[in-house]
Structure 1
């Protein structure tokens, strides 16, 4: 299937009406058509020159836009065969794991598929039920509150502020904005501080949801190694970045923890360049027993913005996140948030206010069990797939696994056909790298992890033999 230049131009609408470089505006509109399914996988896109003529722009604009989408793995460009939307050109027996990866992971999957891609607690802990019972009793006493709190319930803002103060970062409640999860926090920051065509410095690899939030604002993503090595030079550039994004603790996906000295260097560099540095702390509390976590990056600099959430430490269905930043930043974000959302769910915020003072103890209670599952998964991989490299981590939820050959994109499709969903590394890397990696989590029970590795082993043998399109092997256990 192919689409004519004139037809595609019509579908783009007023694509050039925004601000920023034309190639980024064009890439943004094409990305939207791809992600919303208007340009299905396998669709042949117009040649560079013909498309440029239809758009009345230079060929370089089309080439640059196509290259941006190629790096994001949304299109495939091959010499002699043109440009196509990434993915199979005809329906597969199971859904794919193509971009945007973080959206696909939230869709329902077949019951017999073991999900090792999306890392989050599988069920709410008992303490959450107690928190909601307490919240409902508090709701019964409210008589003069209409329930709109655009910046968040003051009681919860105070709990978040006390949480940071306890960690060595003195914080007032008016330095806190409550959001509907960490993803909304990142989206608000991108909308508020990224100019169209502006630059955001990110790690390669990193959390894919952050990449999507920045791309939504037609940002140009500049990649640096994990830990933002080289950030000082990037921040001092003639036209410095609009934002920088970092996962400093139990990095997603590698599990790395940035030492205190490097945290200080990044915070000082950001302050000197007047660049907002986002420190994503959603995984910060998930250390294994005996592991000491350095202070928040924000403890070393006033231009650091901390983002947190209860989705990984408590439950993903509790849509409570927050932003901790300077008052001027919070004020700007609160005005923007009110335009899109007059306030979050009040019962959930009351429950979260009860949970925050107990969060450290809750995470400690489950730390040993998570380490046991981490060790079990690594042992099973070492026994059945010794060629795979799966370095240990000191916390978090995932392993960053390097395949000895092939690529994560094609192997993830093979694995899915054999009943396991894994996350290909390319979707987490804005530089176009990490193709030889996959990300898998270790939150499942030991029995489920053993069965998952069994299926991955079968898939790997099929993949290595070039039979990845065949039928899956029989399952030895129903999940």
Structure 2
């Protein structure tokens, strides 16, 4: 289903289309049982299916020759879940814990005065609790003056008039894909591995003349340390993608690489094509921009045809693909990449190929898209996180030299450069990547085999997608939706990633992602808690498993 943000942008785009057309009614988008229409030159309402239960009002007003779009967006369920966070970690009965979390969110400013809260039954469904829990929490907060309610107007935060325009921003996918250091849950959400032993060796090598030479410099470099740029260029060249150091920009992790590229490549009103599921970081970046997000199945799971068909229909400004070891843990076939390259020939937009996990692929990975495509702009993104260690916070962009220069200026405005010590360690590690990769792949294979055995034993109804080197497993739930199940799991003391956090339109809501980076004993304890959560969740169909309410 579309997010509030997507529907808002679709409305704006099609309103512009209506102005250029004699059509009175312009079809906006259809999602499952939902059909939304835009009435040209009229006030309209867009109704989205639960759990978002968002109503948007679009007004067209003319001032001279300009068209202005005013929007009123009611707070979506995902924003509330972000605001209350780990509400079950508070003390007391469930209704009291929820009330404490809402009160804390109000004090923190995450739910400002005037914010409309979800109806009790919607909140109960998504938190996988009984309606009485939400009723009790709301009653307690009303008695304390934190909330106000009025028949027909709902419930909102006290201190201002009911005002949906004061709501927070978009749901944060990235925050649900990794935990903070203060979390006390068993972490099966963060898809990363402990540092390889070579990281310790690399830091120990930072002494003597090399260290003195580094400390004598300013420590700022917008494009990155020359030695690291050469190491990245050498890696790409050895793997079949000829690259010069001038084609490489060092970034502060993969996320900054994606942020710089989206700023550089996407403008207001553009369309962007993503695979589903996809990177939570990329979703967060795009949800905060005035763009239309279009999704299709991944090349790794369905081949190149669905993506090419969507590109031909949507004419996007940007295509983002993870050809090896995306959230599903799959690897694209070589022939599929070759056909994709051929199909993209002459594409006027740009393509980002995210290769951050590529080094963990057990067998030979497919060719880099940039090495086989013609007449198409392709940026290749990578990082040190998956193979070596996420704590280094080092990534890179490989692209056209002129584009790299422009991107380096944007990076300089962002942070003046990636920390030099991390870059030096990264260069040292990349020179030894063949040996390190071999050991890491053996480690990951063992982790996947053990994790698969444990899941098959404790969650026999869950379908495991066979992984080819990933640091997380992609599981299909027997029934139900991933987000309320993830909330139930948190109450049982284990954090997982619901599939809809990795999906722009909810197509992956039947899946969860389980990370395997912890110790075997911790992983098994986490899966045991997950099994207990599933037993609880599966017993409460009236709360968590029933279908969404029909549109009214």
TM-score range, shorter chain: 0.7 to 0.9
What do residues 21-71 of structure 1 show as CA deviations (whole Å, max 9, x unaligned)? 5999xxxxxxxxxxxxxxxxxxx999645x8599x99999648x66xx86x
| 2: CA distance, partners of 1:241 / 1:101 | 22
2:179 aligned with 1:132 = no
- Contact 1:46/1:83 (CA < 8 Å) preserved in 2? no
Tell me the secondary structure at the aligned position of residue 379 of structure 2.
Answer: strand
Deviating more after overlay: 225-234 vs 147-156: 225-234
Aligned equivalent of 1:211? 283
2:341 aligned with 1:287 = no
| 2: CA distance, partners of 1:417 / 1:81 | 19
Which one of the candidate residues 178, 181, 201 is aligned to 1:108?
181
| 1: CA distance, partners of 2:171 / 2:437 | 32
2:504 aligned with 1:448 = no
Tell me the secondary structure at the aligned position of residue 244 of structure 1.
Answer: strand
- Contact 2:126/2:483 (CA < 8 Å) preserved in 1? no
| 2: CA distance, partners of 1:435 / 1:202 | 16
2:477 aligned with 1:403 = yes
Which one of the candidate residues 394, 398, 410 is aligned to 1:324?
398
2:236 aligned with 1:164 = yes
Aligned equivalent of 1:459? 533
| 2: CA distance, partners of 1:45 / 1:402 | 25
- Contact 1:199/1:243 (CA < 8 Å) preserved in 2? yes
| 2: CA distance, partners of 1:436 / 1:419 | 21
- Contact 1:157/1:176 (CA < 8 Å) preserved in 2? yes
| 2: CA distance, partners of 1:207 / 1:381 | 24
Aligned equivalent of 2:309? 233
Deviation of 1:392 after TM superposition, in Å, equals 1.6
Tell me the secondary structure at the aligned position of residue 323 of structure 1.
Answer: strand
Aligned equivalent of 2:160? none
> CA 1:330/1:48 → structure 2, altered by over 3 Å: closer, same or farther?
closer
The structure having more radius of gyration, on CA atoms, is: 2
- Contact 2:273/2:318 (CA < 8 Å) preserved in 1? yes
Tell me the secondary structure at the aligned position of residue 245 of structure 1.
Answer: strand
How well do the aligned residues superpose, as a CA RMSD in angstroms? 3.7
Aligned equivalent of 2:325? 250
| 2: CA distance, partners of 1:134 / 1:277 | 38
- Contact 1:178/1:321 (CA < 8 Å) preserved in 2? yes
- Contact 2:260/2:410 (CA < 8 Å) preserved in 1? yes
| 1: CA distance, partners of 2:332 / 2:343 | 15
> CA 1:141/1:120 → structure 2, altered by over 3 Å: closer, same or farther?
same
2:247 aligned with 1:175 = yes
| 2: CA distance, partners of 1:160 / 1:293 | 17
> CA 1:53/1:446 → structure 2, altered by over 3 Å: closer, same or farther?
same
| 2: CA distance, partners of 1:206 / 1:400 | 12
Deviation of 1:213 after TM superposition, in Å, equals 1.6
| 2: CA distance, partners of 1:22 / 1:130 | 57
Task: Count residues with an aligned counterpart.
Answer: 416
* Higher normalized strand content (fraction of residues): 2
- Contact 1:73/1:86 (CA < 8 Å) preserved in 2? no
TM-score with structure 2 length normalisation? 0.68
Deviation of 1:150 after TM superposition, in Å, equals 0.4
Deviating more after overlay: 182-191 vs 359-368: 359-368
| 2: CA distance, partners of 1:45 / 1:370 | 41
Tell me the secondary structure at the aligned position of residue 433 of structure 1.
Answer: coil
Deviation of 1:136 after TM superposition, in Å, equals 4.4
| 1: CA distance, partners of 2:232 / 2:14 | 41
Question: What aligned pairs does 1:2-21 form with structure 2 within 5 A after superposition?
Answer: 21=13
Aligned equivalent of 1:352? 426
Aligned equivalent of 2:217? 145
Deviation of 1:449 after TM superposition, in Å, equals 2.0
- Contact 1:150/1:342 (CA < 8 Å) preserved in 2? yes
> CA 1:220/1:357 → structure 2, altered by over 3 Å: closer, same or farther?
same
